Amino acid sequence: MIGIVKYGGYVPRLRLSRRAVAEANAWYAPHLVGRAKGSRSMANWDEDSLTMAVAAARDCLGPSEERGNIRSLFLASCTLPFAERLNAGVVCEALTLDQTVEALEFGGSQRAGLSALTQAVARVRAGGGDTLVLAADSRDSRAASTQELDFGDGAAALLLGDGDVVAEYLGSGTLTVDFIDHFRAAGEDVDYAWEERWVRDEGISKLVPKAVAAALAEAQVKAEAIDHFIFPSTFQKMDQQVAARCGVRPEAVVDSLQDRIGETGTGHALLVLAHVLESAKPGALILVAQFASGAQAVIFRVTEAIRSARPAKGVSHWLAHGTEETNYTKFLSFKGRLVLERGMRGEQDRKTALSTAYRHRSAILGLVAGRCTETGKVHFPPSRLSYEQGNPRKDTQVPHQLAERKATVLSWSAEYLSFHRSPPHCYGQIDFDGGGRILMEFTDVAKGDVESGTEVEMAFRIKDIDEVRHFTRYFWKAVPVRPAAASDRPAAE
């Protein structure tokens, strides 16, 4: 049996109020008021497609000790930070995966996530071992555009394998057609979109049902038997119209979360799938479809294993722990569309020594420390010397992973003197469970969130951006632990 072994997702904490956007642009685009309902997810300044993919993967996989069975990693995105550097390789380092893992990237289409999923199924079927599928996007848009309201930021993760799966793969259907509903030329940051009615009537309505029909035929499932129908679209009620054309019952249409987080691009269908799996019943049939350069659809049957399988936090957790953001200029600044005065302290060169970054990649990207085998003390960064006062030791350290360990704040500071993209600049000394102390930055914090003794967890984030050479540097930051609410994880019946 081949299918989904584990699942997870990630949604940034900030939720931009659509009303705040509409009101800020009312002088120029008063028509936006009609779409100013709900919110959209908004990546922090130190988040991008890579950091969100890592967050979703950690939610899916759980402790790092359980990742040794992964043989391939497929990363799908249309907004990767590097045009020529293996972005998926950065993710592998952050997850401390084995160097023998094959990492591939998928892009060029909003259905790249589903394409990565079906290729993962083929890989598992051919005996290639468990494959981790990640899909993430953080898209840009022009100010006062409908896309600014419709889009959201987020990521999803699925581990595909055989054996004790939580959702069995039954079949898929693919239709490749050069139907251009939008495009983004190389070197451009913003999509150019075509007329909505044309896309809706000639594209989605005619192409998606064909892909769905092919998937139903391969899975030998009738449309009316589908229990959960997932079709993300920014067009209002488009999912219901597509379901009707495909013969799917209207009550099977799944809420696409558009009002709460927006449409998160390449990973949105898989993100909604991860959310559905949190409460799906054994035996339920799930159909996931997505439109882009044609259409693609996949079908799963939920198994009994769903009763015991849960992500580390789950999409429900991220949905429940969002915080409203009404500052539109902050959103513009985080997206790089508003240049703010930085002062002289923001003028330093941020060039990265690539040779040093390579030599210390495990410590920097994986947050791997060194534990002395003789004293048991943890040192970060790791080195050949264990600096015990009066009795130094050489070559006694072994790798000691810190990213999945809880920690507490020893001391902290919040200041406005140094340049920071989201002031105040918050940082402090962090003590890890089991040993280890690091001076780290805090992220996703508000006033009063951090005190001495506050429990924190690690988050893979952007450390700095070299705007001269267009190089993004990554490291880990501390985030206050927010306890799960009772409503975070619906129990499977």
**Are both 321 and 447 inside the same structural domain?**
no
**Are both 464 and 392 inside the same structural domain?**
no
**Are both 374 and 421 inside the same structural domain?**
no
**CATH number of the domain enclosing 327:** 3.40.47.10
| Domain C-terminal end among 400, 415, 450 | 400
Answer for the pair 381, 366: CB distance below 8 angstroms, yes or no. no
Question: Each residue of 318-375: pLDDT tens digit?
Answer: 999 999 999 999 999 999 999 999 988 888 889 999 999 999 999 999 999 999 999 9
Q: Burial level of 84, CB count in 10 A (0-12/13-18/19+)?
A: exposed
Q: Which residues pair with 474 in a beta bridge?
A: 462
Six-digit token string for 96: 């401390």
C-alpha distances (whole Å) from 442 to each of 52, 197, 315, 445, 447 are 17, 45, 23, 7, 12
C-alpha distances (whole Å) from 448 to each of 286, 317, 482 are 43, 21, 13
pTM for the full predicted model = 0.96
| pLDDT at 86 > cutoff 60 | yes
Taking the C-alpha atoms of residue 483 and residue 479, their distance in angstroms, rounded to an integer, is 12
Name the pLDDT band for 441 (thresholds 50, 70, 90): very high
> Does residue 43 form part of some domain?
yes
**Are both 455 and 372 inside the same structural domain?**
no
> Does residue 415 form part of some domain?
yes
> Does residue 290 form part of some domain?
yes
> Does residue 346 form part of some domain?
no
Taking the C-alpha atoms of residue 474 and residue 46, their distance in angstroms, rounded to an integer, is 9
Look over the chain and give the mean of its residue pLDDT values, rounded to a whole number.
Answer: 95
Rounded to a whole number of angstroms, the distance between the first and last alpha carbons of the chain is: 22
Name the pLDDT band for 83 (thresholds 50, 70, 90): very high
How many domains does the chain fold into?
3
Tell me phi and psi for residue 469, to 5 degrees.
-105, 0
> Does residue 70 form part of some domain?
yes
> Does residue 352 form part of some domain?
no
Question: Each residue of 153-209: pLDDT tens digit?
Answer: 999 999 999 989 999 999 999 999 999 999 999 999 999 999 999 999 999 999 999
Domain range for 151: 2-334
| Domain C-terminal end among 344, 377, 400 | 400
User: Taking the CA atoms of the chain, what radius of gyration do you get in angstroms?
Assistant: 23
